[in-house]
């Protein structure tokens, strides 16, 4: 099967993210403890259509959110150097007591713009101390402009969203999920504004009823090759837009810093980067949705993407396919539809093993696109042979749907704690 991904004629990008929040158990502890129920949350990112007054509000809210983050980070550093106890909640309380006199302009926008950054800062330091992230850095104007809105101040109706101290703002489309609106995040991409609405679903999506299994081999020539012989061509948006990207980058570098021409050139370059990202996301969403809807068990390889990017000859092509984004999407969609996802070790020689007799080939160069077994004479496409080997890891061990007792994948569900600064 060849997947033809068309460019996004509609700029609204649906970036769906999943959070599974365990609910407390209903009874005491026992040998036959009940399964932990989960609350499913999805986020839908939609483009906004603001006027000049609404854009001014968005820029002001992003500036206040950035100011609160930088103020909290500087205070965190100062108190940590003086060996004082510091956390995000203490900084938030102190900021709230001082903002009436020192920062009265923060009242012009929603309260979450100046309060939520302190909780985000505390979470960033927690990731840093757990060695799961880098040290938090100061934010700059025009780089990742965003602000948060809590669910108690948010209302969504049709193609409009009500933002506190502003009013109703038009959206390009309706929210696709039914449920309770928990929160929202407004962000700027290029010169466009988007809102990411977080929804707690009323009913969990129907699980995948198919008992079929499939092995998926990712590649640079083709995005994915399935063990049943289907192939999915990647759109390769970066490769197609590379000449235009270089031309716009050269034009930006020649403009005088601080001029309006440089600002226009910067916006044009940002729009192209967004278009490339949107095309790639569109193809990956189509592929991962097809896999989770039609196959109860999916086997993928644990690719070392960071190590693969060190190859300077293939790094651009690998980045253009989006291997890491593919795994992120297939993982949360497998949890959502209760598929069994088998992540095979990266040391498993899927390309060198003969899917017919099991013989291992000593050497196999990247230029050999056909696999030929010297033992049994089996000959097949290289990627198809690897996908068949990945499929055998599922069929040999059997599988259970994600969330059932005994499924190893269900034990790796990420627990997300939803916290707001104003509630």
- pLDDT tens track for 275-295: 999 999 999 999 999 999 999
d(CA 326, CA 291): 11
**What is the reported pLDDT for 405?**
38
pTM assigned to the model: 0.81
Number of Cβ within 10 Å of residue 284's Cβ equals: 25
Mind listing the pLDDT tens digit for each residue in 99-146? 999 999 999 999 999 999 999 999 999 999 998 889 999 999 988 999
Hey, is 232 helix, strand or coil? strand
**What is the reported pLDDT for 205?**
83
- Catalytic-residue membership of 381: no
- Catalytic-residue membership of 217: yes
Band the pLDDT of 248: cuts 50, 70, 90.
very high
Say if residues 8 and 154 touch (Cβ distance below 8 Å). no
Name which of 175, 177, 179, 157 is nearest 167 in CA terms. 157
Catalytic hit among 282, 301, 320, 331:
301
- Catalytic-residue membership of 282: no
Mind listing the pLDDT tens digit for each residue in 192-211? 999 999 999 888 888 888 88
d(CA 201, CA 177): 7
All domains in the chain, ordered by first residue: 50-170 (no CATH), 207-237+279-410 (3.30.420)
Catalytic hit among 75, 200, 217, 331:
217
Name which of 154, 204, 102 is nearest 420 in CA terms. 154
d(CA 92, CA 112): 11
């Amino acid at each position: 099967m060849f997947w033809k991904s068309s460019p996004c004629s509609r700029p609204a990008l649906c970036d769906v993210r999943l959070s599974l929040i365990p609910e407390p158990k209903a009874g005491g502890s026992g040998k036959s403890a009940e399964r932990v129920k989960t609350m499913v949350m999805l986020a839908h990112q939609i483009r906004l259509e603001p006027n000049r007054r609404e854009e001014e509000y968005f820029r002001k809210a992003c500036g206040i959110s950035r100011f609160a983050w930088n103020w909290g980070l500087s205070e965190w550093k100062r108190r940590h150097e003086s060996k004082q106890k510091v956390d995000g909640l203490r900084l938030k309380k102190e900021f709230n007591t001082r903002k009436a006199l020192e920062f009265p302009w923060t009242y012009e926008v929603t309260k979450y713009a100046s309060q939520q950054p302190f909780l985000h800062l505390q979470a960033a330091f927690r990731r840093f101390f757990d060695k799961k992230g880098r040290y938090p850095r100061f934010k700059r104007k025009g780089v990742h402009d965003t602000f948060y809105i809590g669910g108690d101040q948010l209302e969504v109706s049709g193609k409009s969203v009500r933002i506190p101290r502003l009013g109703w703002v038009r959206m390009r489309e309706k929210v696709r999920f039914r449920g309770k609106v928990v929160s929202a995040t407004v962000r700027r991409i290029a010169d466009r504004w988007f809102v990411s609405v977080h929804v707690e679903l009323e009913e969990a999506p129907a699980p995948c009823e198919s008992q079929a299994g499939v092995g998926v081999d990712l590649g640079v020539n083709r995005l994915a090759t399935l063990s049943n012989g289907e192939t999915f061509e990647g759109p390769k948006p970066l490769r197609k837009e590379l000449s235009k990207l270089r031309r716009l980058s050269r034009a930006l570098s020649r403009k005088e810093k601080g001029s309006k021409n440089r600002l226009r050139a910067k916006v044009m370059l940002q729009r192209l980067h967004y278009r490339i990202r949107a095309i790639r996301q569109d193809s990956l969403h189509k592929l991962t949705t097809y896999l989770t809807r039609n196959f109860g068990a999916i086997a993928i390889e644990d690719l070392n993407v960071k190590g693969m990017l060190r190859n300077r000859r293939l790094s651009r092509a690998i980045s253009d396919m989006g291997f890491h984004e593919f795994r992120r999407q297939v993982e949360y969609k497998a949890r959502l539809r209760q598929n069994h996802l088998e992540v095979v070790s990266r040391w498993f020689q899927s390309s060198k093993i003969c899917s017919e007799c099991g013989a291992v080939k000593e050497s196999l160069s990247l230029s050999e696109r056909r696999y030929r077994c010297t033992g049994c004479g089996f000959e097949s496409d290289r990627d198809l042979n690897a996908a068949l080997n990945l499929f055998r890891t599922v069929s040999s061990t059997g599988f259970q749907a994600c969330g059932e007792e005994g499924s190893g994948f269900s034990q790796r569900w990420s627990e997300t704690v939803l916290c707001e600064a104003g509630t």
